[in-house]
Amino acid sequence: MHGWPGSFLEFEKLIGPLTDPVAHGGDAADAFDVVIPSHPGFGFSTPLVGRDWKRSDIATVMLELMTRLGYDRFAVQGGDMGAGVAPEIGRLAPDRVIGVHANGSVGSFVGEVDEETAAALTPIEQDRMRRVGEFMQREFGYIAIQSTRPGLIGAMLADSPVAQFAWIHDKFQEWTHPAEVPAGEIVGEQFLFDNASLYWFTTTGGSAAYVGYAQDAGGGAAPSSSGVPTAVIVFAHDVGLRFAEEKANNIVRWTDVEERGGHFAALEEPGLLLDDVREFFRSLR
C-alpha cells in the first residue's frame, strides 16, 4: 500500500520479481500473488462515499477487498500512509494477516521524548529525532494546509495541472535521497509525470488530502498490539524509531539502512526492499 503523494504506480518495478521470482534470478518458493490497491480518495478509488476515513476505516475496506478477492490469509506491506494502515488490518483480523512489513515506520511519528528516553537514544536515533525537529520547522506547512483546508487545496489543484504537479513534486524532491539530486534522476521523470497525471485526471488532489491528512486518527489510548509479526526497514531519509513502534506492534525484525534510500523505497531501492520482504516472509509461510 502506497502513501501520499504516491500511488499504486510506485510498485511497478516489484510486480515481476514478486510474482515470478525465477524469471528475475530468484527462488520459486518466494513467489507471491500481489494486490496493489489505491487508498480511498486516491486515483481510481473515487468518488468517496461517507464522511469518515480514519486508518481503521481504510483497513476495513482493504480487509473487505481481500475477502472479495478470495484471500483467507495474506501478508500486508506498506510505506507512508500504507505503513499506518497495515497494522490496523492486523488488529482487525489477526487470524488472517500472516505478517506486516513496513518501510519507514509502522505509523508513529515521534517529535519529542522525555529526558530518560533521550539519554538512551543511539546515535542513529538521535539523528532521526534531530531531523524530525527540522521537518516540523521547515516542512510542516503542507500538512497544516491539507489537514485543515483539503477542499481549498482540491479546488486549486483541480484548476491547474502545473499546480498539481508542483504540489506533489516538491515532496518527491524533499523526500528522495539524496535531496540535492533531482528527483527525476532518482525515481524517473516518467514516473513523476505519470503519478501526477493520475491525480490530475481523476481530480483527486482534494480527496487524497482529506483522507490522508484531515482525518481524526482516533485519539485516546494507544492501540494495542495485534500480535501479528511485524518487520520494519528504515532507509536513510526516514525517521522510524524502534522503541516507539514496539509500544503497539509485535516487532520481530528491524533493519536500518543508514546511507541509502529515501521515503519512496519501492522506487528508490527496489532490490533492498524486495530482499527484506522475501527474507521476512520466508519464515511465516
Check if the beta carbon of residue 196 is closer than 8 Å to that of residue 165.
Answer: yes
Beta bridge partners of 233: 103, 255
Report residue 154 as a C-alpha cell.
Answer: 482540491
What is the rounded distance in angstroms from the CA atom of residue 94 to the CA atom of residue 2? 21
Q: Is 228 exposed, middle or buried (0-12, 13-18, 19+ CB in 10 A)?
A: buried
Is 263 annotated as catalytic? yes
80, 199, 237, 238: the catalytic one is 80
39, 177, 237, 263: the catalytic one is 263
213, 237, 238, 276: the catalytic one is 213
Three-state secondary structure call for residue 103? strand
What is the rounded distance in angstroms from the CA atom of residue 89 to the CA atom of residue 140? 28
* Residues, the chain: 285
Backbone angles phi, psi at 126, to 5 degrees: -60, -40
Provide the Cα torsion 197, 198, 202, 208; round to 10°.
-110
Which residue's entry shows cell 531531523? Answer: 131
- The one-character DSSP state at 248 is T
Kindly state the helix (H) or strand (E) to which residue 251 belongs, with its residue range: strand 250-256
Is 80 annotated as catalytic? yes
- Alpha-helix runs per DSSP H in the chain: 12-19, 55-69, 81-92, 115-119, 123-138, 141-148, 150-159, 161-175, 183-187, 189-201, 205-213, 242-245, 265-268, 270-282
- What is the set of active-site residues? 80, 213, 263
